[in-house]
Amino acid sequence: MRRRLAPLLGHDGAVELLDRSLAYTRVALAAVTDDRLGARTPCEGWDLARLLAHMEDSLDAFGEGATGRVRLTTTTPADVRVRTLQQKACALLGAWSLEVPASVTVGGRALDTSVLALAAALEITVHGWDVAWAVGLDHPVPDALALQLEPVAQTLVTLADRGTRFAVAVPVDGRSGASALLLGHLGRRMTGPPGQENAKPDAGPQIAS
């Protein structure tokens, strides 16, 4: 099922979507400061510092993906963490913009490289929204980007992922925008002023991914 994503956009389309996801998330990262590292995020039990560390690990893994293989295996000052993430984001896009293998081995299993690029775009975008929420930045996922990521999320995030990588999907009014539908499928709800302590994000996902 996951291999069927590749024909949706092809390699060039997947890289273009990855580029847009990185551009979106860089705006949120620019708003991170030391005093917000302990802020809660939509991921229950995760503060912003832990989320940023997870994002850095993810960028490393997705960067390895461009080579054809992904190996599974203290609080950093905000400016250092953000600078590192921005550098790795640029390197990630550069790696995927070059000629890459047709398939990539992840934990001993092979899949189309375009699928991994789409997964990267999805992960980077949703965590960009998480960061924006944590720092109180009004930075919704653009509907055009969310619309293209929706079939990626529907295919990659299944019932088997619930309770391990994502929480239960949040019901969303069918008349809601593409951003709300995407976030709802990923266990997030767009309620209350982002990042404010009196906001009620309805717990959000139990586990960040």
Q: Give the pLDDT confidence of 34-72 residue by residue, as tens digits.
A: 999 999 998 878 899 989 888 888 887 776 655 555 554
Tell me phi and psi for residue 166, to 5 degrees.
-140, 155
- Decide: helix, strand or coil at residue 129: helix
Q: Which domains does the chain have, with CATH numbers?
A: 2-140 (1.20.120.450)
Cα–Cα distance for residue pair 161/39, rounded to 1 Å:
26
pLDDT at 204 (0 to 100): 36
Highest mean pLDDT among 9-23, 64-78, 152-166: 9-23
pTM (two decimals): 0.74
pLDDT at 35 (0 to 100): 92
Q: Range with the lowest mean pLDDT among 24-28, 93-97, 164-168, 204-208?
A: 204-208
**Locus of tokens 């400061």:** 33
Q: How far is CA 149 from CA 34, 47, 73, 193, in A?
A: 31, 25, 27, 24
Enter the tokens of residue 171. Answer: 């019901």
Mean per-residue pLDDT of the chain = 76
Instruction: Give yes or no for residue 196 having a pLDDT over 50.
Output: no
pLDDT in tens, 111-163: 777 888 888 899 899 999 999 999 999 999 999 999 999 999 988 887 776 66
**Cβ contact 200:191 at 8 Å:** yes
- Short-list 176, 69, 65, CA closest to 123: 65
Instruction: Give yes or no for residue 107 having a pLDDT over 80.
Output: no
Higher-confidence residue: 137 or 168?
Answer: 137
Task: Kindly indicate the confidence band of residue 191, based on its pLDDT and cuts at 50, 70 and 90.
Answer: low
Cα–Cα distance for residue pair 188/33, rounded to 1 Å:
23
Q: Residue 110 corresponds to which amino acid?
A: A
pLDDT at 60 (0 to 100): 75
